[in-house]
Chain A
C-alpha cells in the first residue's frame, strides 16, 4: 500500500531577554521557585502588561532569518483556555496578525535540497511550570502538583512549519538546522534540557488515493532529537498499520512516553478547541516600519548555510570538515580565528574535527567552554611545522592543553618533550640500535625491507617518541645502505 506522510512542526523557543515579556521580572533559569514573580506574571487582576521591545526585535530577527514577510501592522490577542499553569485564564499570544508570515527554510539531505515552508513566526508568553510529585515526576503517577511562576511570562517564540515534511530524516534535518540558525542569531540558548527549545508535531499518514483525508495526530513531549526521531517513527508506523488493516484514524493528541518509546493517547477532547481569540485590550498594536526592519537586518550574522558555503570555498575544505566546523557558530568562529593567523586551513580543520571533537564529546562540553583557545592551537601547529615537536607528541600536548589551557611551549618545556632533531644525537642512537640487533640487520640486508619499521620503533622507544621521524628515517636508510657494501 502506498502512503503519503505529512509532518508539520511547531517549535517553541524561550527568548534570551533579561526580563520577561510583559514585566520586569528576571528570566534567569534555575532560581528557587516563585522568586522571580510580580503581580503581572502572577496574573493578578487589574495589572497591566507592557511589551518588552527586545523580544519584538528578536522576533523580527528570527522571522527575517527564516525568510518571512514582516507584518507592517501586528498585534497581540488573548487565547482563552483553562489550565492551572495559566493564571489569567488566557495567554497573551498572536492570532491573525503575527510578526512573521510565509517564510521558508531550505534543508539539505544527501545533497538534495528541500524547501520547508514556514507558515508563521509569532511571539507569546510562556506559562508557569507545573511540577508533579511522585516517583517519576510524570502527571499520570503524580501524588500532587505545584506551580512555579518563574517561567510565567518569559518571552516565547512560536515557529510553525507547513506540513511539508515527508519523513523522519527531514524532520530531524529541519529541527537541527532551525536550532543552529537560532543559535547563530543569539536570541535563545536553545537548551532542550531546560525546556528552552520545545517541539510539537502534527503527523498525518494517508493512503495515496485518499486525497481528501485531513486527519492528523498531534504529538507532544518530544524533548530531544532522539525522542523526536523515536516518537515520529513510532507514530508513522502505528498509523500505517491501522490504515493497512482497513481501519480509520481519527484526530487526537498523543503523548510520547520516553520510557516505552511509544505514543499514548491523551484524553480525547469532547469539544473542539475554542479559544475565543480577541485583540488584547491591554496592549496597543505595533507598527513595524521599514526603518525598524532594516535596523534589525543589520544585526543578522552570516547564517549557517551561507557560512558553510563560504568556508568551503574560501578554505578549500572537504564537505565533512565544513559540516563539523559550522555545526555551531562558536566552532566556526574558532576555526576562522585560527585561519586568520595560520596559513594551512586543512591542518587546523584536522585538529578541530579530530582530537578537539573527541575531547569535547568525551567531556560533553561545547568548544567555547573548553580551555583551548585559537592561539593555543595555532602555536602548536607552528611548533609542528618548525619540527620542534612531532605529530605524535603534539597529540599529547593537545590533551594537556585541553586539560589546563596552557600554551604548548609551556607544556613542552615542562615535560621535556622537545623533538630531537640533532643529527649527531640521533645518529648515535641509531648506531646503538643497529649494533644491538645484528640478526635484524641481516634480514634487512637480505632484502626484507619491512624490518625498517622495527629499527624506527626502537629509536623512538629510546627517545620516548621525541626523535624527528624524518631525520631518523633518512639516517637509518643511509647507514644500512652503507652496510650492504
Chain B
C-alpha cells in the first residue's frame, strides 16, 4: 500500500493553513501511516458486487419545506466575533488574492 510521505503532510498542512514544525511533521507522518494502514485492512474484504456507498444509514430524500423560521438575533449572531464593525464580523486586513 502507498504510504504517506513528508511531502503529503506538508501539502495537507498548507491546505489546512497549519504551521507545523519539522518534529510535528515527522510525528504526523508516522501517525497518519498507522491510521491509513488500519483503514487499509478494509481492502482485504472482497467487495465485488457491492455498490459503492457514501453513507452508513440507508436513508434517502430527507427534505424540509421552504418555510422561513425565526433567525437568531443580531447580538447573539455576533457574540462569537472577536471584533465587530458596523454590525459585521470584522476581519484582519485582507490582501488581494
A36 and B80 CA atoms in complex are apart in Å by 16
| Band of interface residues on B | 35 or more
Contact with B along A141-168 (1 / 0, CB 8 A): 0111111110000000000000000000
A32 is an interface residue with CB less than 8 A from chain B: yes
Decide if B15 touches A80 in the complex (CB within 8 Å): yes
Decide if A24 touches B69 in the complex (CB within 8 Å): yes
Q: Name the one of B62, B68, B88 contacting A148, with C-beta atoms under 8 angstroms.
A: B88
Interface CB pairs A-B, < 8 A, 22: A17-B66, A19-B68, A19-B69, A24-B68, A24-B70, A32-B87, A33-B87, A34-B88, A38-B72, A44-B80, A130-B91, A139-B94, A146-B91, A147-B88, A266-B97, A283-B62, A284-B59, A284-B60, A285-B54, A286-B60, A287-B60, A287-B61
| Band of interface residues on A | 35 or more
Decide if B60 touches A142 in the complex (CB within 8 Å): no
Q: Name the one of B11, B15, B66 contacting A52, with C-beta atoms under 8 angstroms.
A: B66
Contacts of B96 in A (CB 8 A): 139-140, 266-267
Decide if A274 touches B15 in the complex (CB within 8 Å): yes
A276 is an interface residue with CB less than 8 A from chain B: yes
Among A204-223, those with CB < 8 Å from B are none
A37 is an interface residue with CB less than 8 A from chain B: yes
Decide if B88 touches A18 in the complex (CB within 8 Å): no
B residues with CB within 8 A of A = 11, 14-17, 54-55, 57, 59-74, 77-78, 80, 85-91, 93-94, 96-97
Contacts of B16 in A (CB 8 A): 82
Among A28-85, those with CB < 8 Å from B are 32-39, 42, 44, 50-56, 75, 80-82, 84
Decide if A35 touches B64 in the complex (CB within 8 Å): no
Decide if A53 touches B64 in the complex (CB within 8 Å): yes
Contacts of A405 in B (CB 8 A): none
Decide if A286 touches B74 in the complex (CB within 8 Å): no
Q: Name the one of B17, B61, B68, B71 contacting A18, with C-beta atoms under 8 angstroms.
A: B68
Q: Which residue of B lies closest to A139 (CB)?
A: B96
Contacts of A279 in B (CB 8 A): 54-55
Query: How far, in Å, is A61 (CB) from chain B's closest CB?
Result: 14
A25 is an interface residue with CB less than 8 A from chain B: yes
Among A264-295, those with CB < 8 Å from B are 266-267, 271, 274, 276, 279, 281, 283-287
Decide if A146 touches B93 in the complex (CB within 8 Å): no
Contacts of B17 in A (CB 8 A): 82
Decide if B91 touches A285 in the complex (CB within 8 Å): no
